[in-house]
Amino acid sequence: MESHHNKTMIKIIPAIDIIEGKCVRLTQGDYAQKKIYNENPLEVAKEFEASGIKYLHLVDLDGAKSNGIVNWKVLNEISTKTNLKIDFGGGIKSDKDLEIAFENGATQLNIGSTAVKDKNLFLNWLQKYGSDKIILSADVKNEEIAVNGWQENSGINIFSFINDYLANGINHVVCTDVSKDGTLQGTSVVLYQRIMEQFPDIKLVASGGISVIEDIEELLHMPIYGVIIGKAIYENRIQLKDLKKFL
């Protein structure tokens, strides 16, 4: 066995995406390309926990499409019936949404669209809850920030977006390459490398395209904070037992 002296250097964060209370996956953010994997997300979360995983990326896809959080009951159930630390996103548009999410057990919140569209509101939340609770969620298409369930490009460059919020105290960033997400075609190593070179102090979580264990190992070469894994787990490309060496 080779030694994995750096195994604790990356957080393994499996994803559960929710539509109508069920665990689903999309391909490239397309709701028409939806596949249901489990009617009961709590079962999935318990399976993750049983395999030694400590973190969960929970996305309310109904919320992302509407004007606020929809599937808060799923968040509540997973947070009360497991010890997973949950970062939650999808539909966080108002002060009330943040209250609902934290009241129902979210450890951190992923905020994307509001960070693009209403900087002052986002900065208010950052100030109120602190940089360990608020994650800047950057969805990227050709190095530009994509918003509204990725249907539109904002024209904002990813590097200036991060730089701007870094100056305002952001610490945690989740970066999803939209073109890779749900495709099982490998991750955007070059993009993440460039982000880490430019912003060595941020806690960057890579998301989108992870398909095999080697994709995770490739990320270990840069000081990346964590990795979100979705479809690869559900399609059995990556077994939970194979993730043990990183835990």
User: Which domains are delineated in the chain?
Assistant: 7-246 (3.20.20.70)
Give the pLDDT band (50/70/90) at residue 223: confident
pLDDT at residue 189, as a whole number: 92
pLDDT at 192 over 90: yes
Catalytic residues: 17, 139
Three-state secondary structure string covering the chain: CCCCCCHHHCEEEEEEEEECCEEEEEECCEEEEEEEEECCHHHHHHHHHHCCCCEEEEEEHHHHHCCCCCCHHHHHHHHHHCCCEEEEECCCCCHHHHHHHHHCCCCEEEECHHHHHCHHHHHHHHHHHCCCCEEEEEEEECCEEEECCCCEEEEEEHHHHHHHHHCCCCCEEEEEECCCCCCCCCCCHHHHHHHHHHCCCCEEEEECCCCCHHHHHHHCCCCCCEEEECHHHHCCCCCHHHHHHHC
The reported pLDDT for the residue numbered 3 is: 43
Lowest mean pLDDT, pick from 109-123, 142-156, 186-200, 209-223: 142-156
The residue that leads in pLDDT, 174 or 31, is 174
Q: State residue 105's pLDDT score.
A: 98
Q: What is the mean pLDDT of residues 231-239?
A: 95
pLDDT greater than 80 at residue 206: yes
